[in-house]
Structure 1
Amino acid sequence: MVDTYKAFPEQETSSPTFLEGVKDCIPTLLGYISIGIAMGIVGLSGGLSIFQVFLLSTFVYAGSSQFIICAMIAASSPISAIILTTFIVNLRHLLLSSVLAPKFTSYSLWKNLGIGSLVTDESFGVAIIKLAKKHPISDRWMNGLNLTAYIVWIISCTVGAYLGGWIPDPQILGFDFALTSMFIALLILQLQTITPSKLKHYLFLMLMMVICMLVLSSFVASSLAVILSTIIVASIGVMTDK
């Protein structure tokens, strides 16, 4: 992770404001709103109340985990299994936060905890793109980015739960596939902008991911296999990237 941090060139000394963070978050809000509404609808159909969906989106704040929790609740899974699965699925946030951490070493522990607890895949992406463009980031900017996404997500999930009363079976309309479809769309958009050599590299990593998943799934649970495969293939990607 230290290498990733060092890869960014020296940045400007100006400190971006909270409102700049809010502004930079706006392009990602369409994804938060659409996926949040879908999650609320799925949550209500899974047996949760509107208030429970609100609490879930407030205290868990992880789209993939929330979809999984709703599915496990509907399947009457034990609480211990739900907690363990949620923990494993969200382990990637340790990696995301560790990449950003060197930029916030001058801030207090409480400020770092506040920033890290609200980092998502989307906010991490916005921050990394800003760093790659040699633009500075600050705690105020990160809070503007994170809090805007957080509030919009909670509202979207709650609205989705309210709308779910008129949709008895969301699977018919494919709402349970919303999160997966979003990541597929992001992957396609990324593949359209890369060079042929990079495309070959990415296809190689995808193949390695499939192989790792097939091998590891024979020895450990599929949820753990996903995490281990991601770490292994990400490491291979860093070492083979030219």
Structure 2
Amino acid sequence: MTKNAEMINGAKAGLVPALSAAPFGALFGAVAISHGQSVFEAVMMSITIFAGASQLVGIELFGQRVAPWLIVLSVVAVNFRHVLYSAALTPVLAHFSLPRKMIAFFFMTDPQFAESLKRHEAGTPVTFAWYMGAAITIYGLWNVMTLIGALLGGFIQDPRALGLDVLLPIYFLSLVMGFRSRPNYLSIVAVSALASVLAYATVGSPWHVSCGALAGIALAAILPPKKATDTVSEVSSS
């Protein structure tokens, strides 16, 4: 398959996740404006950082007289899962050159990780052209929606009053459900969720994200692997 065809296939694979994340991009743009950023600043933050959840965390902390190191540490805590993503995708992208790996990991978001892993597990190689096709689609629509949200942000005094803040948990829940056929899915998700809730009640946000992830990893390392078919039956029966 030619590089152009691979890139088109990648763009198709990234279209649905991009559309799913689009409202979240608009939400960030609106929230950024409500916190005093200009349209240019909001768009540049999305272009250069491109890490939705941590962008919102940063916006919430900016202007609250919080020490810069604490802002950075909070963003790292939210984005800790990307360390796990990169480790999981390293074998998948092993054939990429170092410059291409650096580019690929910049564009590695939750949907990019999910789509790449699903393609790899289906037995289809993840080529750089395919990867970039998906990445550019997700990245491009995210930034367009950030711009739209920022432009309309002046008309939305309180995004939470419209219930826009629920878009983020719904978005992540859809990603988690995409892996429901994986071994030990239910038990790992349950323990991770419980640990996250307990951490949120004790140490607070954003540390609950890392605590929940670490609890899920620990359980996954302890439990014996189960066949995917057994897990599907378990999910169906529940």
Q: TM-score normalised to the size of structure 1?
A: 0.80
Instruction: Select between 227-236 and 93-102 the one with higher mean Cα deviation.
Output: 227-236
Q: How does 1:15-164 map to 2 (within 5 A)?
A: 17-73=6-62, 75-164=64-153
Q: 1:221 to 1:179 in 2, by over 3 A?
A: closer
For the 8 Å contact 2:23–2:145, the answer to whether it is kept is yes
- Structure 2 match to 1:6: none
Question: What's the CA shift for 1:183?
Answer: 2.1
For the 8 Å contact 2:7–2:130, the answer to whether it is kept is yes
Any idea what SS the aligned residue of 2:124 has?
Answer: coil
Q: 1:29 to 1:208 in 2, by over 3 A?
A: closer
Q: TM-score normalised to the size of structure 2?
A: 0.81
Deviations 1:183-212 (A, max 9, x none): 23455x559x769xx7xx544334423554
For the 8 Å contact 1:44–1:161, the answer to whether it is kept is yes
- Counterpart CA distance in 1 for 2:71 and 2:97 is 33
- Counterpart CA distance in 1 for 2:94 and 2:12 is 24
Task: Give the RMSD, CA atoms, in angstroms.
Answer: 2.8
Question: What's the CA shift for 1:39?
Answer: 1.1
- Counterpart CA distance in 2 for 1:185 and 1:100 is 20
Question: What's the CA shift for 1:233?
Answer: 1.7
Matched letter for residue 218 of structure 2: S
Q: 1:173 to 1:76 in 2, by over 3 A?
A: farther
Gaps of 5+ in 2: 227-238
Gaps of 5+ in 1: 1-12
Deviations 1:26-60 (A, max 9, x none): 11121121111111111111111111100110111
Task: Give the share of equivalent positions with the same residue, in percent.
Answer: 25
Deviations 1:212-233 (A, max 9, x none): 4477679866534531441232
For the 8 Å contact 1:32–1:156, the answer to whether it is kept is no
For the 8 Å contact 1:42–1:176, the answer to whether it is kept is no
- Counterpart CA distance in 2 for 1:34 and 1:96 is 23
For the 8 Å contact 1:41–1:163, the answer to whether it is kept is yes
Any idea what SS the aligned residue of 2:157 has?
Answer: coil
**Number of residues paired by the alignment?**
224
Matched letter for residue 223 of structure 1: P
- Counterpart CA distance in 1 for 2:20 and 2:201 is 35
Q: 1:31 to 1:215 in 2, by over 3 A?
A: closer
Matched letter for residue 44 of structure 2: L
Any idea what SS the aligned residue of 1:137 has?
Answer: coil
- Structure 2 match to 1:234: 217
